[in-house]
Structures are given as C-alpha cells and as structure tokens.
Amino acid sequence: MDRNNMPLLGDNFPEMEVQTTKGMYNLPGDFKGQWFILFSHPADFTPVCTTEFVAFQKRYDAFRKMNCELIGLSVDQVFSHIKWEEWINENLDTEIEFPIIADTGKIANTLGIIHPSKGTNTVRAVFVVDPEGVLRTMLYYPQELGRNMDEILRIVEGLQISDDNNVAMPANWPKNELMGDEVLVPQEPNVNKIKERREKGEKEGLKCYDWWLCHKKL
C-alpha cells in the first residue's frame, strides 16, 4: 500500500511488523481486543513533539482505563527514541511508558504520512483503531500546531459509547450548547416508527426538536 493507496476510515488497519522501544509488535494483531492509537511525530528532539509526548504520557492512565493503548512513530532509529525518552525523563520528570516505532520510512509511506515538503519527516497524524483492527478516526495536524490530547480522549470515549448504545454525539459533546451531555438517537426512516417515537418517546426519556432530531440521557 503506497501513499496513493493510504488506509481510509472503515478500512482494516494494514498489517505490519514494527520495531519499537519496547520490542517487536505485529499490528494490528497484538492489540486485538483493545483499542489503540498510533500517532506520528515529525522527529525526535523537537520542541512541539516533546510537549506532545509529555501530554500523552500524562493521560496514559486515562487511555488505558478505556482499554486503549498508545504507540508513537517517527522516521528515527530506536536508539534516538531511547535517548529522547531519557532526556524527557531526566529534564521533564516524565517517564514515557508507551512504545515508539522506529521507522525507516516504509511504515510511514504505507500509512501515507510522509510530509510532502519536509523530506522524511512524518506529519502529525493520529489513527484510532478499534478492537477489531478497523480504522475509526484519522486526524492530521500541521507541524506548527501541537495536538489536543483531551480531544483524542473524547474521540475514543465517544466511539465506545456509540458502539455500545447505537447513538451519536452532538457537537462539543459532552458540553453541547443545546443538549449538554445527552446523546443523539438515530433517525427513523419509517413513518410507523416515527409515529411510535412521538407516542412513546417522552415516556422513554426521549426529547425531540423534530422527528429527525432527538436526544436522550444515556
């Protein structure tokens, strides 16, 4: 799979064997039954990336509570990753616990994340993969802008709630301007179902602006 055939939402995450700071991994197989986030950074020993790694590590327990693992990646050798980890620990008092992939460029090309104007630097990409190995979210950031880790946590939480309850999340959930932390229920493209929803919805805690815009508490 080359850059022109990069994985898309709903695709199976491409199978690959990767060398990391924690040993060899087979993706996505070694994370079967778990969510995982693969995130790329342009290079080790760079300012924005350093702040991102600290931010990811500070939230690592929160990710793991959601049965979600983290794995980083850049086109650097494993020894560079290890020395950078040591620098972060010694100077910023943060031990990086998640693995970092050492890439020659092959993996980055497979995922389509080599920056088009930055040589071998990878873009700031985020791939959220579900327990079945399906790619559920992709995010791309410019080199100048560090990622918002709380948004990535929100994405994983929202996808898990959606999968478990067949609901959707409104904008800015769980702090939506119209319905707070409530969730959206699927539309019913059936006149009988619409009538039934109108008759029973309120008793079941359903609130509707119209037949196609209904929300409820989980």
- What integer is the mean pLDDT of 54-67? 98
Cα dihedral: 111, 113, 116, 122 (round 10):
-140
| Residues 6+ away with beta carbon under 8 Å from 203 | none
pLDDT at 114 exceeding the cut of 90: no
- State how far the Cα of 213 lies from the Cα of 122, in Å rounded to an integer: 40
DSSP state of 118: S
Task: Catalogue all structural domains in the chain, each as residue range(s) with its CATH number.
Answer: 3-147 (3.40.30.10), 166-218 (3.30.1020.10)
Mean pLDDT of the chain: 91
- 127-179 pLDDT per residue, tens: 999 999 999 999 999 889 999 999 999 999 999 999 999 999 999 999 999 99
Catalytic residue list contains 68: no
Structure tokens at 129: 């993969």
Catalytic residue among 49, 68, 208, 214: 49
pLDDT of 122: 81
Model confidence band, residue 212 (pLDDT cutoffs 50, 70, 90): confident
Residue with tokens 């815009």: 213
